[in-house]
A and B are shown apart, each in its own frame.
Chain A
Amino acid sequence: MSNVRGFNLPDDLYYLVEKHVWAKPLEGGVYRVGITAVAAKLSGGKLAALTVKAKNIGQEVKQAKSLATLESSKFVGPVPAPLSGVVLRANEKLVTDPNLAISDPYGEGWVAEMQPTDWENEVGNLAFGAEGIAAYQAKLEAENITCS
């Protein structure tokens, strides 16, 4: 886990930096995806809802396209998919407690699980490891985003 400008950013995740979302490999080629601590901060810190579009389950969502929506008093917008893939399931815990995505964005607050459809071509777009964290840090510095 790295701490960048006050944000926790685990080293073992693939980040789509410009969209503030992550992907983590599970068994069987499945990836779990979610929002980063940065997205949690930018959304205002308290969510009214985080909803995976029901029609997306079983369908392919392309990288950077809307996988889910996030609603708070400060912000309404998409949760983009970090990779192209078929949506296998949504995290049902978020239905009753969307703020898990704020309090535990890399754990209990994951958004969905996906089966990648173009991983080999897309992995190059994702930030990973120490180099990836450095890229994320550069973006946060360029946009002057901090946790405080």
Chain B
Amino acid sequence: MADDKVMIIMTSGPDTPRRCATPFFFASLAAAMEYEVTMFFTIDGTLLLKKGMAETIFPKEGGKPVSAFIQDALDAGVEFLACTASTELHDMQPSDLLEGVKMVGGASMWQIAEDCKTVLTF
């Protein structure tokens, strides 16, 4: 087990804007602490990765859109993985996803989780 790997499983989506900033903030912070960080998006979390979607979601009125939190995490080197089954749930195509997001099956989540010291779920 590597002690420098962590994963955040993101299930919250556009219906709960207030739950959509902190997970990205925590991911950026972990990257700043030199952890290798994966965010795994499933259920409604995957919708945040739809091109153009995150720009329209504001966790705080008058604050930054979710897209800014996503960009901070990507800039910090966080890896984004989208659960294939959840893209089917939302009728999303691979081309609907933000650049750089990889689609993986649920088994990948288990394998990454096994290799991580900490797994957080939001």
- Mark A72-84 against chain B: 1 for CB-CB distance below 8 A, else 0: 0000111000000
Cα–Cα distance between A76 and B30 once the two chains are bound (Å): 10
> Cβ of A139 < 8 Å from any Cβ of B?
no
Please tell me if the beta carbons of B33 and A53 are within 8 angstroms of each other in the complex.
yes
Which residues of B are found within 8 Å of A76, using beta-carbon distances?
25, 28-29, 32, 72, 76
Which residues of A are found within 8 Å of B76, using beta-carbon distances?
76-77
Please tell me if the beta carbons of A65 and B32 are within 8 angstroms of each other in the complex.
no
Indicate the size class of the contact surface on chain A.
under 10
> Cβ of B114 < 8 Å from any Cβ of A?
no
> Cβ of A12 < 8 Å from any Cβ of B?
no
Cα–Cα distance between A76 and B27 once the two chains are bound (Å): 10
Cα–Cα distance between A78 and B34 once the two chains are bound (Å): 9
- Mark B17-43 against chain A: 1 for CB-CB distance below 8 A, else 0: 000000001001100111000000000
Indicate the size class of the contact surface on chain B.
under 10
> Cβ of A71 < 8 Å from any Cβ of B?
yes
Which residues of A are found within 8 Å of B29, using beta-carbon distances?
69, 71, 76
- A81 CB to nearest chain B CB (Å): 11
Cα–Cα distance between A76 and B29 once the two chains are bound (Å): 6
> Cβ of A66 < 8 Å from any Cβ of B?
yes
- Which residue of chain A lies nearest to B73 when distances are taken between CB atoms in the complex? A76
Known contacts A53-B33, A65-B34, A77-B28; 14 further A-B pairs (Cβ under 8 A): A66-B32, A66-B33, A69-B29, A69-B32, A70-B32, A71-B29, A76-B25, A76-B28, A76-B72, A76-B76, A77-B32, A77-B76, A78-B33, A78-B34
Chain B residues with a Cβ under 8 A of chain A: 25, 28-29, 32-34, 72, 76
Chain A residues with a Cβ under 8 A of chain B: 53, 65-66, 69-71, 76-78
- Enumerate 22 A-B pairs (CB-CB under 8 Å) in ascending A order: A53-B33, A65-B34, A66-B32, A66-B33, A66-B34, A69-B29, A69-B32, A69-B33, A70-B32, A71-B29, A76-B25, A76-B28, A76-B29, A76-B32, A76-B72, A76-B76, A77-B28, A77-B32, A77-B76, A78-B32, A78-B33, A78-B34
